[in-house]
Chain A
Amino acid sequence: MKLVIAIIALGLSACVSVPVERKFPKAPDELMAACAELQTIPEGTTQLSVVVETVVANYGQYQWCQTKTNTWIDWYKKQKDIFESVK
């Protein structure tokens, strides 16, 4: 019995915890914000200028979302490269 206890104690003496902790990289706050809804034209509008203004604003909205999506792809690639460089 004493021998068994001694063997178990010796075996447990080899137990070790993994001390290196890695944090998941934080993405920029601007990228974490959801894209805004597209603007709508006020009901009853008959003026072309109002329609064009809304369409142009929505183009701008799309360009911002496109930028964010492309930046997300860029961010992912860079962070993946950095992550994989640690071995």
Chain B
Amino acid sequence: MQEGAVLELRGICKNFPGVRALQNVDFTLREGEIHALMGENGAGKSTLIKVLTGVYPKDEGTIYIRGYDGPAAIKSPQDAQEMGISTVYQEITLCPNLTVAENMYIGRTKSSLTNWKKINRDAGELLDTLGIPASPTQQLASCSIAVQQMVAIARAVDMECKVLILDEPTSSLDEQEVAKLFNLMINLKSKGVGIVFVTHFLDQVYEVCDRITVLRDGQLVGEYVIEDLPRVLLVSKMLGKELDDLDGVGKADARVGYDAGGVSVMEASQLVSTAGIKPFDFSIQKGEVNGFTGLLGSGRSECVRALFGADRAIGGTLSMNGKKVRISKPLDAMKHGIGYLPEDRKRDGIVGDLSVRDNIILALQVMKGFFRPFTRAQAEAFADEYIKLLDIKTASADTPVKSLSGGNQQKVILARWLLTNPVFLILDEPTRGIDIGTKLEIQKLVLKLAAQGKSVTFISSEIDEMLRTCSRLIVMRDRKVVGELTGDDLTQNKIMTTIAGGENP
């Protein structure tokens, strides 16, 4: 182990069926430092943390922990706890039905009897010191999400830990609570605890962290001292593009002509949904390709979900071709000619056990009506047409869609929406987790659709992809639209600086 290190990971590999989530990743955490782990969605941060805490078994590599000779065998969350690694996960992993005090002590007390007086007293003291506004005897579910997250942090802090992992703990906290958390982190740091901090808020990284490790596509990009890595550079590392590299690539293709002065195919004003985004405006013309950009969690998916009716709108108005429309559920949007390819393919997109054919015809079939099913011949004709058109690689149209590769599953969902002949197609991360060839095919398809007079809204974590396809970008940060870029502003640099917060290099 290196001098001063409390935790060392060497050559960690982790594969999921069809995905190489981590490839040969190294990570070192030193005593008394706050170390940010950064990367876009799918970069492997969460996987790395789950390997480290024993939630997933690792395929290869070794973990060293100070105080333990040789490679540490972490097989379960219990093991990790015992070796002094305590973790606060992004989603709250406490039991809502138990009291605050009990949540802080369950699963880590040795005695087989619960001394309520003692744990209530201890918990009360701890809550007081940390300034968490909760009573130890209160049921956890009655606390706000932020307080629950603070309780999880309190639990992690209270364990005699050498390593504290905070996996996006701040997403539900307000500014004051974040400030409290940071005080706590700095306090722990001075006591020699090593802290791994995962967040997608850049400001927070620069506020408290000492070092940054960047991951991309399951691989290590590098470890940097915070002073050496300005914000814009960090964004470019995360996105995998050098700053002035590739600027303006494919611009010529992207500028497909459209009537900028015409009536908007779809227009939203001050739209708000139940998903907790700030009100936003949106409009798209016939034949236009535009996009939402921003880091993960910036609210870009929530915006398009609101447009499609996937999240219920609670304010604002929508109009199509100048006429006001009401979209309260996805079927309404579909009837108005909107298609939506969701971000989470597995959860919201495919219907895994159904055949490729049924998956392709699903949306059109629903629009056609319950009592008017397609004949077998019709369904086969549709499926075959689109399997050929999009070059979907499947054994047959009868194959369950879940047995296809990610890229081909995505094409099946694309086929589903193309079949409905939409006037406005929303594609949320259509290229995530699929091979480069398919990515290019999808980009070409988007441009072709625009040329045919369809409107497309495109979301991608990869900026050059957006640059190649979109003629207008709506930039989001912290669940709010912070800018709109068109024409000459559409450069990698400009986008990154807008995402990072208006700071120019």
Is B one of A's binding partners?
A: no
| Partner-B contacts on A (CB < 8 A) | none
| Partner-A contacts on B (CB < 8 A) | none
